[in-house]
Amino acid sequence: MAGAVPDDPSPLRPFTRVVRVVRTGSTNTDLREAVTADPGAWPHLSVLVAQTQDAGRGRAGRGWDTAPGTALTASVLLRPRVPPGRLPWLTLLAGLAVQRATAELTGVRTGLKWPNDVLVLDVGEEVDGWGTDRKVAGILAEALPAAGPHAAGPHAATSHAGAGHAGSLAVVLGTGVNVAQTRDQLPVPWATSLRLAADARVTTPGAEELLSGVGRHLADLLTRWEAAAGDARAAGLAEDVARVCVTLGRSVRAELPGGIEVTGTATALDNDGHLLLRTPEGAERTVRAGDVRHVRAG
Ligand SMILES: Nc1ncnc2c1ncn2[C@@H]1O[C@H](COP(=O)(O)OP(=O)(O)OP(=O)(O)O)[C@@H](O)[C@H]1O
Ligand SMILES: O=C(O)CCCC[C@@H]1SC[C@@H]2NC(=O)N[C@@H]21
């Protein structure tokens, strides 16, 4: 990462450490490398934010393209005190934090597409796989391999009993939000930005303001999630996610790893945050990973 700026003297709450860079390839790649090299320097809820990202990464090896200075591109280091099996919820909870912050700051109606997309709802012509919704943000969660005694960091010192692996998991949670792009600056027809989607009378929030909103919601959701040892249903979080997850109730085509395709109606999220589908034959299928496209019923 080039042009590292010294740590902010008045860090954005609730982040524990804020590092800004002017320009880099990928904040996820940088944060992974930095945490691996010096785990003790990156407490739970540290954030690395870049003004410009030149080689952003999306899910499934795809790129994440944002014109300089038009987007929020940030990665947060988390050491969630939950059993590893509950980790799929993290992407959904981060999506919920972004959904809430974007809606709150712009008045734009946003929702989640399982598992990692934040959408602006009902704003355009039909686009295959996206309906009339448009993608405004994406989440890329990457778990780090367990490391030595420092891996738990200071956060682990407060770990609650019963979480088992308390503090030993480290996850880099990347968030990309399209803030101010014009139509021409967006890489795909199903993308939008907050500026394009918001009422012209609304001032689009800056990336910093957005980051602060996302951080506040994320910290709140994580506290509730950890208090229930990762059981999102018990914490009432599964319901919160389901309320804004527009994939549920839709006809979808899921492309599973290995190229297998399953179609059906998305009915629910299971206890681990996986998507349940009811196939036309009446069978139930669990989608744990892969791409989901929203298709028109009938
Ligand atoms: N700023 C952005 N906003 C919304 N979506 C984006 C953005 N940048 C990249 N994408 C997404 O990334 C993908 C394009 O990335 P890339 O050019 O690496 O794709 P690819 O691997 O060639 O994709 P595909 O297999 O979909 O053709 C698209 O699927 C698109 O959803
Ligand atoms: O929708 C996706 O496929 C996920 C996109 C995630 C993009 C963010 S931008 C900040 C962080 N750094 C990256 O290289 N990727 C994530």
- Are 14 and 41 spatial neighbours (Cβ–Cβ below 8 Å)? no
Cα 37–chain centre separation: 24
Q: Identify the domain boundary among 206, 227, 244.
A: 244
Residues 268 and 172 in one domain: no
CA 253/CA 94 separation, integer angstroms? 24
Determine whether 218 is exposed, middle or buried from the number of CB atoms within 10 Å of its CB (0-12, 13-18, 19+): buried
Token pair for residue 101?
Answer: 């912050």
| Closest C-alpha residue for ligand 1 atom 23 | 62
The residue range of the domain holding 42 is 2-244
Residues 238 and 266 in one domain: no
- Are 46 and 76 spatial neighbours (Cβ–Cβ below 8 Å)? yes
Residues 17 and 160 in one domain: yes
pLDDT for 256 equals 86
Residues 173 and 108 in one domain: yes
Ligand nearest to the CA of 64: 1
pLDDT for 34 equals 98
Residues 196 and 170 in one domain: yes
Residue 181 alpha carbon to ligand 1 centre in Å: 15
Q: Identify the domain boundary among 244, 259, 279.
A: 244
Residues 169 and 289 in one domain: no
pLDDT tens string 234-265:
999 999 999 999 999 999 999 988 889 999 99
Average pLDDT (290-296) is 90
Ligand nearest to the CA of 178: 1
Token pair for residue 225?
Answer: 């999630």
Could you tell me which of 295, 298, 268 has the C-alpha nearest to residue 286? 268
pLDDT for 297 equals 65
Q: How confident is the model at residue 199 (pLDDT cuts 50, 70, 90)?
A: confident
Q: Identify the domain boundary among 229, 244, 259.
A: 244
Residues 270 and 204 in one domain: no
| Closest C-alpha residue for ligand 1 atom 21 | 62
Average pLDDT (210-221) is 97
Residues 196 and 271 in one domain: no
CA 179/CA 101 separation, integer angstroms? 12
Residues 153 and 64 in one domain: yes
